[in-house]
Chains A and B, each alone.
Chain A
Amino acid sequence: MDLVLLPDAATEAERAAVDAAVGSPGHERRDLLLPAFHAVMDAVGWISRGALSYVCDRLHVPPAEAYGVATFYALFSVTPRAPRTAHVCDDVGCAAFGGEDLCAALEERLGPPGSGEEVTWTRSPCLGLCERAPAVFLQRASPSAEDEGNPEATRALASSPHDDAPGGDHAQIAPATADTVLRALDGEDVDGPDPVVSTPQAGGPDLELLSRVGVVDPGDLDSYRAAGGYAGLRRALAVGSARVVDEITVASLTGRGGAAFPTGTKWAAVAGSPEPEKYLVCNADESEPGTFKDRVLMEADPFALVEAMTVAGIAVGARTGYLYVRGEYPAAERAILRAVAEARRHGYLGDDVMGSGRAFDLEVRRGAGAYICGEETALMNSLEGRRGEPRAKPPFPTVAGLFGKPTVINNVETLVNVLRIVAEGGPAFASIGSGRSTGTKLFCLSGVVARPGVYEVPMGTTLRELLELAGGVPPDLRAILLGGAAGSFVTPDQLDVPLTLEGTREIGATLGSGVVLCFDSTTDFAAVLRRIAGFFRDESCGQCVPCRVGTVRQEEALARIVRGREIGGRTIELQLLRDVDRVMTDASICGLGQTAASAVRSALALGLIGGS
């Protein structure tokens, strides 16, 4: 390719960071673009012209396209920015629970968002720490990543990015105060959130997905094995791939990321494809506001995910699996990286998994701040080093997915269910719940509940029963955002809905990603709705017109309604919102646009805003 690069030269630090992350492949490796950009961000805190040119030269990517990728992601900056940045959640789960107060305090201490040369702060969408609002994610560049690890490991990174330790010195603080944030910005070590605290049921009976949370040491493979770990993979290898796929199908396992597609159908399609090259992808880009279950699973029980991916990968015939972890989840990334390295060291990953002769290995890739990358095809584009724009379907990923090859992509929670299914068999799993809603399900309770956290209940449990587990139906409960920002509001008179795909659909709601965000009557729903509308306007990739412009118009119309500045009166504004809603729902490319009006629609229908 006849690349034309800007004349700006990279600094020594930038070159070293890129070389350590991607080496010099000598041919096009666009898929290493995100790791390369992360390396630069982690080392110097922003991506300069020289750094971008250097990355392009290494990876043979045209600079305009690389720039298009760098500017797509919120965690990358192509203008100078303070090397230590606090991202403060002002989203629906945090804003009213200390988030806005924290923003105000930081503004007072540090100035407006983005100002400051050494440290700064900025507002952020949901950080997946809703059970301990307010949440902060710290993006801290550390100039010499090489000093931290041993040089061996650094060299190994050249062939496999993020082999062991993630770059940078990123951290999460929750609940955060202005003081803890300022100290952390000054470089003080931060204790990551303890996932056990986020799991009130931890150690209790009748848990499956959460059974090892707080029981095993997430950094210790032996501890995992002592708790029954790797029995599932042994069994899967023993019964063979066809049988594993069959058990998943019989279990009627559905995707837990929000779309609820039958997992067995995906697996069977990819396993049966004649294409020799296939991929498994784990979608760990958990970004739906109010959702934090996958984070807890990865932080507290990372080996389970690694084992489940190994079972899945071998079952569908993939030799490589990619785990795409949200960029704002440094603790989860560290836990997973450690688990992958351990598993590899013990022969649970590699050319000869558990002596079976089957090859499977994992690559961990870090997202960079884009809700849309939770959409499966956008995630694949992101993995390939492209802008995280969703693709047209068909073709579906099972036919043409990652790198154009047949691909199974599953959410973290979905995959962890696989271990139970290979252990107990599909029929046992299917006997829990009913219809298409089988097995247990994780829910993320936050807002005005007594004991927020991740809860595991059998499908079919009612919303009321779930709230009881978390300390009872909150007094003065006004509404619950069920399923996330892409979900909808339900009211206290709907608490007896069984939490199944079918049950929620019956009341016009959705399980979504398992969000149960509770609001009482003191809530400023206008602010909540404007935040949701602003969220979709920020997170729209911009590819299709209905979503790109529709999310803007929706936010503007809501602003007028809550300020009593309607054009032509309330009825006309509501009609306008309905019109925008319909085109986004009907004609957007992907699920983001198709659900971007969902919460607003339900709030208007329930009269949560505007008083109609």
Chain B
Amino acid sequence: MFGAGGGTSAYSEVEDTDLVLLWGSNARETHPIYFHHVLTGLRRGAGMYVVDPRRTATARWARGHLALDVGTDIALAHGMGRAILDAGLENRAFIERATTGFDEYVRAVEPWTLEKTAEVTGVDADLIRETALAYARADRAQLCWTLGITEHHNAVDNVRALIDLALLTGHVGRWGSGLVPLRGQNNVQGGGDMGAIPNRLPGGYDVTDDGHRARFDAAWGSAIPPEKGLHLSQMFEAMERREIRAVYVVGENPAESEADVAHARALLGGLDHLVVQDIFRTATAEFADVVLPSCADWCEYEGTVTSSERRVQRVRKAIEPPGLARPDTEILCDLARRLGHDWGTPSPEEVWDELRSLSLDWHAGMSYARLEAEGGLQWPCPSLDHPGTPTMHTRLWERDPALRGTPAPFAPVVHAGPLDELSPEFPLRLTTVRRLDSYNSGVQTGGYTSPLRREEALCVDAADARALGVHDGERVRVVSRRGAVEAPVRVDAAARPGLAFITPHFSEQVDVNLITNEAWDPQSGTSEFKATAIRIEKLAVGARVPVAGA
């Protein structure tokens, strides 16, 4: 944010903060060790509000739980923004000094009275106001979010609405005040930092910036295309248009993880050539022409990963990889050689040092020796004598405009509900969630036996179950506009009337992405996993004997 794609705060700041606002994040289960830091903060007296459609384990630690309707985050954020403005609690000094676009923001939130916000979001107006004022009044506040914000068709707008709240109150760039997007994988941050996103070069440089691109061109001896590449969803569209005919998939399992997965599978199956490089023979690998077995980098090879607090840390080889598995870099260098480019056989440290020579602002100071000795470093770390940066954007508080740099822009984003709208035909909202002991499509966590694990089920509120005449454990048909799956029903106190949820962990039990919505955010390419319109149908009598039948 503000030109740097990473959270602004160190984890330890949440221990020193006065208010925690967790938005679309069930950190208790999905980021348990980060939540330890949150709990320390709570024990030291911080208050916490949780925004989540479900009554999650996280929400049960909160002072206030804002159980909004799925996909109404911008409405809620704007309603809070207006409540803060109405109370005169905006941080004038910060807004004037460090932001642009305030007037547009004020106009954008103007329609969002408490009454309207409550009506659109389903959250009690008093609670919205209480939360907004608590956030604004706190001397320090942390705003954290996860997939509940980003797995929507308007993910980036959602994020920007939250950033607006931080700008409005000055809760950024100070120790204890900041914005923390909690990343879902150990190197989402690092992958982006290394340029594995369509619009960035390694080190976060804009790919359209001629000056920086020239440095990379010179170092790599090759001309980098000056325009943004495609993100995942655009790639699938290009496959559909038959513009992309060959795909090289590294460490991703779209044949299970994509929304509307039947469609994705059809496209993968129709390619001229598919290469899959993975530690497992995944569902995607089943479609591949070539499978390149690779090491599990976190324990079978050397390198670095970057965490949600921008901390770069070393991963190391502890065990020998199985069979023919090889490190990703070796595979890539071999491939390059066969394509006529001799990249040599660089050691992991040599690869890293090349990055350091180009990522001048973020990584130049992070030698392997320092990463080893200092237990990781947080970027930006531009030189060997730089201590790393726990808190970002402190510059915004500088008195000297020159030091302050580019102001942070407000984004007058507009609320737009889920594209997969509820209707009489599809009256229930289904959202996908994750559980403590499992991970994404379950490829890795399926390997161990968890005592917490239960059969995958569609979790619904008791009232909905009653209304539908289904009982706990009964198998039902779950139908969306894209398809249908069968699943047992489980009554769960975390659901609420009109809201059902399920995990993506066990596609072999319930292949939920057959029914999720492929609609994606044009800015990030993230699909609308969090909002599917469904109906629940009882199975025909005799189709299956219910477990606890009459």
Contacts and interface: CB of A to CB of B under 8 A. Distances in A.
- A-B pairs, top 4 by smallest CB distance, nearest first, are A2-B57, A2-B60, A1-B61, A1-B60
Nearest to A4: B57
Interface string A1-36: 111000000000000000000000000000000000
| Interface magnitude class on chain B | under 10
Interface string A78-115: 00000000000000000000000000000000000000
B63 to A, nearest CB: 10
B505 interface: no
Nearest to B42: A1
Contacts of B28: 2
Interface in B34-91: 57-58, 60-61
Contacts of B58: 2
Name the prevailing secondary structure of the B interface residues: helix
Nearest to B59: A2
A2 B57 CA distance: 5
A9 B57 CA distance: 22
Contacts of A2: 28, 57-58, 60-61
Nearest to B60: A2
A157 to B, nearest CB: 28
Contacts of B61: 1-2
Given A1-B61, A3-B60, 6 more contacts: A1-B60, A2-B28, A2-B57, A2-B58, A2-B60, A2-B61
A235 to B, nearest CB: 41
A1 B58 CA distance: 8
Interface of B: 28, 57-58, 60-61
8 contacts: A1-B60, A1-B61, A2-B28, A2-B57, A2-B58, A2-B60, A2-B61, A3-B60
Nearest to B29: A2
Contacts of A1: 60-61
A1 B42 CA distance: 11
A27 to B, nearest CB: 10
Nearest to B56: A2
A542 B28 CA distance: 33
Interface in A517-544: none
B439 to A, nearest CB: 20
A225 to B, nearest CB: 46
A201 B118 CA distance: 74
Nearest to B63: A27
A3 B61 CA distance: 10
A459 B549 CA distance: 80
A276 to B, nearest CB: 16
Nearest to A3: B60
B77 to A, nearest CB: 26
A188 to B, nearest CB: 49
A550 B61 CA distance: 42
Contacts of A3: 60
A2 B61 CA distance: 7
Contacts of B60: 1-3
A1 B63 CA distance: 10
Nearest to A27: B63
A575 B296 CA distance: 61
B539 to A, nearest CB: 28
B361 to A, nearest CB: 41
A33 B468 CA distance: 41
B493 to A, nearest CB: 11
A2 B28 CA distance: 9
A373 to B, nearest CB: 26
A472 B2 CA distance: 92
- Give the most central of B28, B57, B58: most A CB within 10 Å: B57
A1 B61 CA distance: 4
Nearest to A60: B60
A303 to B, nearest CB: 41
A3 B60 CA distance: 8
A367 B141 CA distance: 43
Interface in A529-567: none
A61 to B, nearest CB: 14
A368 to B, nearest CB: 28
A3 B28 CA distance: 13
A119 B196 CA distance: 76
A3 B58 CA distance: 11
A604 B332 CA distance: 83
A145 to B, nearest CB: 32
Nearest to B39: A1
A13 to B, nearest CB: 26
A531 B536 CA distance: 70
Contacts of B57: 2
A2 B54 CA distance: 14
B130 to A, nearest CB: 16
A2 B60 CA distance: 5
Interface string A313-326: 00000000000000
Interface in A39-63: none
